[in-house]
Amino acid sequence: MIITTLGATVKRAVKRFLSSLPALFGVLVFTFLLMRVLPGDPAVFFASGPNAGKAEIELIRKQMGLDKPVPQQLVYYLYDLGRGNLGNSIMTGQSVTKDLRDRLPASLELTFSALLIALVFAIPLGVLAALRPGSLIDHGIRLFCALGVCVPTFVSGLLLIYVFYYLLGIAPDPTGRIDIFTSLPPSRTGFLLVDFLLAGDVSGWWGAFKQLILPAVTMALFVIAPLARITRASMLVSLGSDFVRTARSVGLSWWRIVVTYALRNAILPVITIAGIVFSTMLGANVLVEKVFSWPGVASYALDALLSSDYAPVQGFVLLMASIFVIVNLVIDVLYGIADPRVSVG
């Protein structure tokens, strides 16, 4: 039984993955075209200096393939992509693949921590609100949620810096993942918290944690609301259902009813929303990464965009769209595990 459901889940996931490929390709082409209309000529950036001669610029254009018609450039781009080559960044002078690989862990670590914080707060809040609908707690949580989605991340981030760095002095200087005096642990996962733990460096871990907590909380604040709201709505449905009434009538403990029966059945929509929230957070990272000078992929793409550097932006968008697809896949699989009925249907 379990094997058949797992098989069905995998089959469904593969089907979903294949059906998302056209969209991914569309993203690829659309970004490519969008980047061709960016103002500024990358050949000029690549040239030796501001006084580079026309001939030199022309030569570079030729080397970069920029003198070819756009459709042909697209074909070259796709060919390179097929070989895993995302092009080179003008800003850093490195390959985009390397740049993204260097910076992705920073963004992922931040986003995962933010999602974790958000879930840790949102699920209990949603459950609390659902247990006493219409009560003062419920209204309080609703107010908190309503306010949470209204404060832009760049404002809440800056205000957190003001309170915890300037006023209280307990947060470190809000720039980057570790302060400049700490040496990096040997890179194993790229996640500093994990790497410091593996290296057994407690003070390093604490330093990295202190750098991480403010940006992570900033992002979490913005997404607690949708998560808490969906938890509440879905808990209300599940608390009102027959099986909870039955559980109550046979005298199961309150904790067991709420957590084991009601919450487990209410968790599906929360998983979905959490997945969507994760993908949007990765994209919306730009603002938080900028406020906290976080060396992630989003701030890398932003800098590239502002200096008309095509390749990193294309690579970034492709990366984000792929992560989006992967996250959807993971949700699908989790869904199948949490509720076997889904994959049978």
Partner 1 sequence: MTAATLRHAAWILRGNPLTGIAAAGVFALVLIAIFGPSIVPYDPVSSDVPQALQPPSWAHLAGTDQLGRDSFSRLIVATRLDLTIAVSAVGVSFVLGAVIGSLCGYIGGRLDRAVGRFVDVLMAFPLFVLAMAMVAALGNRIENIVIATAIINLPFYIRFSRAEVNIRRNLGWVEAARACGDSHLSVVLRFLLPNILPAMAVQMSLNLGWAILNAAGLSFIGLGVTPPTPEWGIMVAEGARFISTGKWWLVAFPGLSLMLAVLCFNLLGDGMRDILDPRMRT
* Residues forming the site for partner 1 (CB under 8 A): 20, 22-24, 26-27, 30-31, 34-35, 37-39, 146-147, 149-152, 154-156, 158-159, 161-162, 165-167, 173-174, 229, 232-233, 279-280, 282-284, 286-287, 290-291, 298, 301-302, 305-306, 308, 313, 316-317, 320-321, 324-325
CA dist., res. 144 & res. 124, Å (int)? 14
Nearer to partner 1 among residue 119 and residue 225 (C-beta): 225
3 state SS for 245-292: HHHHHCCCCHHHHHHHHHHHHHHHHHHHHHHHHHHHHHHHHHHHHHHC
Is 88 in a helix, a strand, or coil? strand
Q: How many helices (H) and strands (E) does the chain have?
A: 15, 0
CA dist., res. 115 & res. 122, Å (int)? 10
**Residue 79 Cβ vs partner 1, minimum distance, rounded to whole Å:** 21
Nearer to partner 1 among residue 152 and residue 240 (C-beta): 152
CA dist., res. 2 & res. 133, Å (int)? 37
CA dist., res. 225 & res. 201, Å (int)? 35
Of 230, 270, 222, 225, the closest CA to residue 111 belongs to 222
Nearer to partner 1 among residue 12 and residue 229 (C-beta): 229
Tokens found for residue 256: 């067991």
CA dist., res. 96 & res. 88, Å (int)? 5
Nearer to partner 1 among residue 6 and residue 171 (C-beta): 171
Q: Could you give the C-alpha distances from 52 to 49, 59, 128, 167, in angstroms and in order?
A: 5, 11, 66, 50
**Residue 340 Cβ vs partner 1, minimum distance, rounded to whole Å:** 28
Count other C-beta atoms under 10 Å from residue 219's C-beta.
Answer: 27
Of 272, 316, 333, 318, the closest CA to residue 23 belongs to 318
**Residue 173 Cβ vs partner 1, minimum distance, rounded to whole Å:** 8
**Residue 84 Cβ vs partner 1, minimum distance, rounded to whole Å:** 21
Nearer to partner 1 among residue 7 and residue 152 (C-beta): 152
What are the φ/ψ torsions at residue 27 (nearest 5 degrees)? -60, -45
CA dist., res. 324 & res. 218, Å (int)? 22
Nearer to partner 1 among residue 150 and residue 202 (C-beta): 150
Nearer to partner 1 among residue 30 and residue 254 (C-beta): 30
Nearer to partner 1 among residue 154 and residue 209 (C-beta): 154
